[in-house]
């Protein structure tokens, strides 16, 4: 009789312990869900969602950028936003890419930056005092539903792609505006270190257009 009482007591305590553990786990889930809901409805939290059917025909891509707008920093290692890309599969959206980024403005552009005929994704990164813009670049491969981030692309101000030369140039607004040239190699950006300047030089001459064509000729021959 005593042994039966001890067994019943032990089983009761075990059931109570499991119930308490389950309740604690559910409470943690509820707290986590509440925190997410509070963040998502907070005034400093913004979500940009874009269905890309007209850009990527028959692919049903969706882009979502979630941003904490009060966490802006000029340190590129401090992120305040999450970029996610989805594709429609088996009657639901499935995530195919995710990245943490620093975004000051919710700008999204679609431009081909590697001459494959497919528009790539540019997410605005920063804007400086002279409104020079920087972007993150993600090359899009629609055949495999893959995105590839180009490292250090966000260091280029006002990037512009020249498809006939497969080279990137820019025009940076400064005390004296200047242009440099870049090229994508693998998953990285390479500066070609050919800087030319707009406006008149110390001799009063403006040779920008001539210097631009000379630089392009030199760089395309090299490549």
In sequence order, what DSSP letters do the residues of 181-199 get, joined into one string?
Answer: EEEEETTEEEE----EE-S
Give me the sign of the Cα torsion angle 149, 150, 156, 159: negative
pLDDT higher than threshold 90 for residue 64: yes
Return the CATH number of the domain spanning residue range 39-155: 2.40.128
Instruction: Give the pLDDT score at 31.
Output: 53
pLDDT higher than threshold 50 for residue 153: yes
pLDDT higher than threshold 70 for residue 202: yes
Instruction: Give the pLDDT score at 172.
Output: 98
CA–CA separation, 20 vs 125, rounded Å?
A: 47
pLDDT higher than threshold 80 for residue 37: no
Report residue 213: phi and psi, to 5°.
-65, -35
* Domain extent listing, the chain: 39-155, 156-223
Question: For residues 133 and 92, is the Cβ–Cβ distance under 8 A?
Answer: no
Q: Is the pTM of this model over 0.75?
A: yes
């Amino acid at each position: 009789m005593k042994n039966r009482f001890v067994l019943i007591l032990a089983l009761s305590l075990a059931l109570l312990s499991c119930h308490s553990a389950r309740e604690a786990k559910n409470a943690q889930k509820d707290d986590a869900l509440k925190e997410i809901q509070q963040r998502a409805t907070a005034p400093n939290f913004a979500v940009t969602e874009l269905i890309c059917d007209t850009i990527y025909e028959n692919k049903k891509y969706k882009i979502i950028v979630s941003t904490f707008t009060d966490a802006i920093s000029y340190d590129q290692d401090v992120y305040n936003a999450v970029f996610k890309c989805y594709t429609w599969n088996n009657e639901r959206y499935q995530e195919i890419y995710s990245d943490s980024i620093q975004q000051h403005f919710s700008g999204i552009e679609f431009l081909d930056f590697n001459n494959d005929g497919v528009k790539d994704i540019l997410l605005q990164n920063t804007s400086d005092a002279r409104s020079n813009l920087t972007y993150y670049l993600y090359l899009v491969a629609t055949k495999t539903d893959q995105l590839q981030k180009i490292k250090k692309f966000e260091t280029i101000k006002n990037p512009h792609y020249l498809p006939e030369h497969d080279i990137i140039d820019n025009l940076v607004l400064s005390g004296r505006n200047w242009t440099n040239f870049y090229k994508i190699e693998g998953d990285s950006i390479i500066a070609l270190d050919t800087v030319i300047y707009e406006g008149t030089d110390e001799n009063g001459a403006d040779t920008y257009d001539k210097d631009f064509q000379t630089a392009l000729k030199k760089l395309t021959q090299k490549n």
